[in-house]
Chain A
Amino acid sequence: LAKTTQPISMDSYEGQEVNITCSHNNIATNDYITWYQQFPSQGPRFIIQGYKTKVTNEVASLFIPADRKSSTLSLPRVSLSDTAVYYCLVGDVGNAGNMLTFGGGTRLMVKP
């Protein structure tokens, strides 16, 4: 089970690009990397998922180096509404039980 390490908190300003890095040194071959966003008193919301290289969707990009021991969530031009906690999960798609250990998350504060 891959353990993840993220910065506890980050500050940014509106309009800036924010990059949050997650370390997962013991990631296994079958593990995928998934990022979630959580607002207070709400369930986590899926942001993006990837296995290697780069993945991009309408809200974020996910960069994964060749060794896959880390990943970086990139949020372009953040707004105040992006203030939330961001979690990265690493696990085996064929074994759901391995995708269920949440790390501490990164608390992002976007300032005006």
Chain B
Amino acid sequence: GAVVSQHPSRVICKSGTSVKIECRSLDFQATTMFWYRQFPKKSLMLMATSNEGSKATYEQGVEKDKFLINHASLTLSTLTVTSAHPEDSSFYICSALGPGGNEQFFGPGTRLTVL
């Protein structure tokens, strides 16, 4: 089946540093990937839609300069949290739109902790 991986699975960083999270579709090509964040005991909240070869589309209230998204290939999208602060600590999850175009395949998530 369609598998999506994320790296790293956990990251701890100091306030003010930048962190890059990778999302890969391992056995299929994904022209569209999505980035979510999830706070404890809350639902997933869509941050942005990542399209291969074009600029990402950000949801309202999500700062594009803070959450940089790059979808440089059909199997890789990256999310960079710039100048991270403690309030950016969260669980970040990516998904990729499957070959059929009607199903999302989710990555395992990345736990970011900003000290």
Contacts and interface: CB of A to CB of B under 8 A. Distances in A.
A interface, by DSSP: helix, strand, loop or mixed? loop
Nearest to B6: A43
Contact of A41 (B45, B91, B102, B107): B91
A36 to B, nearest CB: 8
B102 A49 contact: yes
Interface string A95-110: 0110111111100000
Interface residues of B, number: 26
Interface bracket on A = 20 to 34
B46 A100 contact: yes
Chain B interface SS verdict (over half) = strand
Contact of B45 (A93, A99, A102): A102
A60 to B, nearest CB: 15
Contacts of B97: 96
B77 to A, nearest CB: 14
B106 A41 contact: no
Q: Which of A93, A96, A103 has the most CB of B within 10 A?
A: A96
Interface in A73-104: 87, 93-94, 96-97, 99-104
Contact of A49 (B6, B46, B103, B111): B103
In the A-B complex, the 3 residue pairs with the smallest Cβ-Cβ separation, listed nearest first, are A43-B106, A93-B102, A102-B44
